[in-house]
Each structure stands twice: as structure tokens, then as C-alpha cells.
Amino acid sequence: MTVALQVSHLYKQFETDQGEVHAVVDVSFDVEAGAFFTLLGPSGCGKSTTLRCIAGLERPDDGDITLEDAVLVSSSRGMWTPPHKRPMGMVFQSYAIWPHMNVFDNVAFPLKQGPQKFSNTETRDRVMRSLALVHLDGLEKRPAPQLSGGQQQRLALARALVNEPKALLLDEPLSNLDAKLREEMRMELKQLTSTLGITTLFVTHDQLEALTLSDQVAVMDSGHLVQYGPPREIYEAPRNRFAAEFIGSANFFEGTATDTVGTGGVTGVETEHGVLRCTTAEAVSKGTRVAVAVRPENVMLHAGAPPAGDDVNVLSGKVQSVVYLGNTLDCQVEVGGALVKADVHPGESVSEGDAIALSFKVSASRVVPVGVAVAAAEQAG
């Protein structure tokens, strides 16, 4: 696979009344051609600013951005391409449908005002093709403000695609839709982008959207890119506490590493509940303060004897609460003063007050660094 979009060492800060805000700090990533790449994070994490730097709507303080063969931004060479010269289409959070034009004119705008000039018939053909792509054909005469939210969304998509851009940028496009419509549009978006094979950059704060749509997810926190990789990797092997907590939920046990191991190795972690054996994604040295992240669905509860072996950690505790959620039982188990969350099959017979054993696999226990996100946030602030 070839790399279509390359972002390296991107920095952006804003001057505000409260002083400087580091919105984007040393963010680098590659997006492969045709991939669906998602920037995920809570509001204010810098994901939108990153996207806007790529679009050219913000001017980064430092860093390089290349799209295919073209250098869009290069701070060392003092290069910056204005947004209207970047071959990209963008769907905005508010859709930004121009209210003084009808559907046709909205889509035709990039063709009429853009860098390339088209004949009237060519323009018409392209607009119609683009509208057909998003199932808006037949509505071209309608004034834009008369469209529903979902239709405006499709129109914005058609407008972004009509110029056949090299990359499609989506800034939280689904957040203004109601839940049902959002799900529908999510499916459509996935289908459309994979049919077209277009390199897509998607910004969202919704982990479900990120996991279901993306080939690659980049998790951002306080301006930093904390991890990026395929959704499954992010979920199963979070590199730090923030990634583990922001996507899904996790139990954390803090402690000290007992071994020095390399990437993908297994180390013991001395916690207040004893030594837990865990898998680490990055190299870790003996004596470092770390945390162990365990997903609730990976925690097994055993009324009887727990399994034994090298590949499993076992703790014992007392069931504090059990909430029936239909497809799972959401259990809180008190272990040595701390609460551990476990999602178990609803068929399990667990009730409050039971003394119980907990087990989780070594492969499901991930070492994450302690407090990096906090330290970074402090430095950024």
C-alpha cells in the first residue's frame, strides 16, 4: 500500500485570553491510499484542529503535510498552500450548505468557481452523477434550506466529492443527526467511501463510529496523538491509560514492573493485589511505575475453583452490585478495597454479597504507562 497523506511533526497553538493553548503537539501519522482514517478524541483534544490544518483552514506553526506527491505544508521550506488550492473535499459539522443557492448550485459551485473550468454540459453531468451517488437525484431544483438534516448531509457529501478530490475530509459529520439516521448514514458513508476507494479522514468523538468505520484509528488527547493503529489493536492493546479509558472501559491496577522486557513481552507488575502477569506493547524497564489495564468483558467470575496456570491472573473479592443489562450482567466486585468491573454472560449466577474469584488472561492484561496523558496535559497547559 502506498501512503497518500503524510503528516509529520505538526504543531499548532492558539493565543487566547487565558494564554497560549497548545492545540496540536507533535502529531505525525501516515494515511494509506484509499484508507478510512479516523481521528478520535474528546472535544478539545486537537482532532478538529489537525483536520483543519490538513484542509488548510488553519495554518500550523510547524510541521509538514504532503498529499500524494504534493507538499502542502512545509515549515522548513516556508511552504503553505491555501485551502482552495488543495485537492480535497470536506464535509463540515454544520454541513455549511449555502442557503442562498438550490441543491444544484451548491454542488456545481466547486466546478464553477474551482481551479478547473468545465463546460455547462460537463458541469451538469458531474453534478448529476454526484447527486445520484448520494441518492439526491431529482431534488436538484429544491432550495437548500428546504432539505432535511439527512439530505443536507448527503448534499454536503455530494459537494465535497464532485471535484473528484484526492482526499475526503469529514469533520464530525454525523453528530448533528438523530440516533437512527446516524446509524443509516454511517453504513452509507462506509459503503460510499469503499466503493469510491477515496482516502478519507474522519474526525469524531464517538468511539462506536471510529471502531465501525475505520481502517485506522488515531486517538488524540490534549493535542497529542497517543496511539494509532487498526481499531482492533487500539481496543485490545491500548498503549496508555487514556486510550484504554476513552475507547470502551477498563479496570486499572497500578504497580511497578518487575522485569525489563522488550516489545510484546510479558512482565510481572507488583500491585497491591500481588504480582500480575501482563503483556506489554512497548519496551518496559524494571522498576517503572505502570498500570495494568483489563477490559471488563475479559474479567471472568468463578463461584467455584478458579482456573490455574501461567496464562491467567487470579484475584478474589466480594460482589458489590449486579446490574442486569439484557445481553450482559454488569458486576462490581470489591477486591482489596478497590472496585473491579466485570461484564459477564447473563447466564452466570452471580448475586450481591457473594465471595467470588476473578480471573483474566495474561494476554488480556495490558501494561500502560502511568500518567503520561496527565503529564502531557500539564505541559501543554
| Residues within the interface to other proteins (CB under 8 A) | 9, 11, 13, 22, 25-26, 55-57, 59-62, 73, 75-80, 82-85, 88-90, 92-96, 98-100, 109-110, 113-116, 156, 159-160, 163, 169, 224, 280, 282-285, 288-290, 367, 369, 372, 375-376, 379-380
Contacts for 147-152: CB closer than 8 Å, 24+ residues apart: 147/97, 147/103, 149/176, 149/177, 149/178, 149/181, 150/177, 150/181, 150/184, 150/185, 152/95, 152/97
Nearer to other proteins, 102 or 359 (CB): 102
- Which residue's CB is nearer to other proteins, number 143 or number 346? 143
Angstrom distance (rounded) from CA 218 to CA 340: 28
Instruction: Please state the closest distance from residue 347 (CB atom) to other proteins, in A.
Output: 39
- Written as nine digits, the cell of 67 is 498529499
* H/E run at residue 320: strand 312-324
Closest approach, Cβ 378 to other proteins, in A, equals 10
Rank residues 91 and 315 by Cβ distance to other proteins and give the closer one: 91
- Please list the residues that pair with 319 across neighbouring strands: 333
- d(C-alpha 201, C-alpha 217), whole Å: 10
Chain-centroid distance, C-alpha 214: 8
At its nearest, how many Å lie between other proteins and the CB of residue 349?
A: 40
- Closer by beta carbon to other proteins, 51 or else 210: 51
| Distance, CA of 112 to CA of 338 (rounded, Å) | 63
- Please state the closest distance from residue 206 (CB atom) to other proteins, in A: 20
Q: Do the Cβ atoms of 142 and 152 come closer than 8 Å?
A: no
Percent helix, percent strand, percent coil in the chain, to nearest 5: 30, 40, 35
> Smaller CB distance to other proteins: residue 14 or 184?
14
Nearer to other proteins, 22 or 186 (CB): 22
Asked if 151 and 136 count as a contact pair (C-beta separation under 8 A), the reply is yes
What's the min distance (Å) between Cβ of 337 and other proteins? 26
Whole-number Å distance between alpha carbons of 213 and 222: 24
Please give the angle made by the CA atoms of 131, 207 and 162, to the nearest 5 degrees: 15
Copy the grid coordinates of residue 230. 487498526
Shortest Å, Cβ 101 to other proteins: 8
**Nearer of residues 50 and 359 to other proteins, judged by Cβ:** 50
Shortest Cβ distance from residue 56 to other proteins (Å)?
7
| Exposure class string for 320-348: b at 16+ Cβ within 10 A, else e | eebeeeeebbebbbebeebebbbbbeeee
Strand residue runs (E) in 177-296: 199-204, 216-221, 224-229, 251-257, 266-271, 274-280, 289-294
Q: Kindly tell me which of 191 and 379 has the beta carbon lying closer to other proteins.
A: 379
Nearest distance from C-beta of residue 352 to other proteins, angstroms:
38
Shortest approach of other proteins to residue 360 CB, angstroms? 21
Locate cell 441543491: which residue? Answer: 103
Q: Which is nearer to other proteins, 56 or 296 (CB)?
A: 56
